[in-house]
Structures are given as structure tokens and as C-alpha cells.
């Protein structure tokens, strides 16, 4: 199943997608959009273009597991995405994904403007990889 992952941000939102076999997660794009309604429209369009059958949205929990304003915004965005696309939408704990994304970019020596342009999509890849790993451990793979 093709799954689209979303790393929501206030200025930039990263998207990633996996292959039908749910083996490989790849960065798709970064959407620069601050308006929440237009952002939902752009993500829904990207989901349609990618042929996504499910969407997973990163849930930004605090390190102690509690949820704040950002988590509530992610839950609301996930609900709106489900309405806009008609697809099932899951939430996945995204604690540490941006740090992991920066570490990946350090290894590839990606710096400056290029790093800023891709870090959100790489974070979406990390969210998707975590989600796929959880699906496999629950026996939900194809």
C-alpha cells in the first residue's frame, strides 16, 4: 500500500511516500505554506498525485509523552486531511524525528540552504519508516 507521511510545520511541511510493498520510504516534497486550509489542500493534492491509500501524520508529543498545542494542531490537521481525501489517516509519534533527520543530513554533508530545503521531507521519511516498522511488528504488512 502506498502511504504518504506528513511532517507538519508552521512554515514548511515535509512529505514522504513509500512503495507499494511498504519497504522503501522516500522524500516527496516540502510544501511552504502557512495558511492551514491551503496546506490541507496541497497535501490532499500530493496524496492524490502519489496514489496514496493512507496518510500518516507526525504527532509532536513532548519528551515526557504529554501533548501540547502542536499535538492538538496535528490531530486537527489529520482529521481535516481525512475529510479532504477520504483516506484513512493515522498519527505517529514523531519525537526525535527532526534530530534524526539532521543526523542523516550530517552524514551526507548536506549544509546551508539545501539542508533547510530538505530537512522537513527527511523528517517525514523518518516518521514513515517508524510507522512502517510498527505496522510490520503488528503483522499489517502486504
Residue 10 placed within a domain: yes
For residue 38, give the CATH number of its domain.
3.30.420.140
- Residue 142 belongs to some domain of the structure: no
Task: Tell me if 131 is assigned to some domain.
Answer: yes
Report field, pTM of the whole predicted structure over 0.85: no
Is 24 inside a domain boundary? yes
Nearest to 73 by CA among 85, 55, 61, 86: 61
Residues of the domain holding 131: 3-137
Q: Is residue 57 part of a domain?
A: yes
Give the pLDDT confidence score for residue 128 in this predicted structure.
94
Q: Residue 141 pLDDT > 60, yes or no?
A: no
pLDDT, one tens digit per residue, over 34-62 is 999 999 999 999 999 999 999 999 998 87
Number of domains in the chain: 1
Amino acid at each position: 500500500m502506498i502511504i504518504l507521511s506528513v511532517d507538519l510545520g508552521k512554515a514548511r511541511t515535509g512529505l514522504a511516500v513509500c512503495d507499494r510493498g511498504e519497504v522503501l520510504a522516500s522524500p516527496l516534497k516540502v510544501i511552504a505554506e502557512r495558511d492551514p486550509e491551503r496546506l490541507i489542500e496541497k497535501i490532499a493534492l500530493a496524496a492524490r498525485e502519489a496514489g496514496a491509500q493512507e496518510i500518516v501524520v507526525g504527532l509532536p508529543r513532548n519528551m515526557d509523552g504529554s501533548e501540547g498545542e502542536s499535538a492538538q494542531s496535528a490531530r486537527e490537521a489529520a482529521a481535516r486531511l481525512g475529510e479532504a481525501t477520504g483516506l484513512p489517516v493515522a498519527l505517529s509519534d514523531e519525537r526525535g524525528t527532526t534530530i534524526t533527520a539532521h543526523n542523516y543530513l550530517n552524514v551526507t554533508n548536506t549544509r546551508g540552504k539545501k539542508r533547510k530545503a530538505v530537512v522537513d521531507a527527511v523528517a517525514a521519511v523518518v516518521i514513515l519508516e517508524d510507522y512502517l516498522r510498527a505496522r510490520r511488528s503488528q503483522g499489517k504488512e502486504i
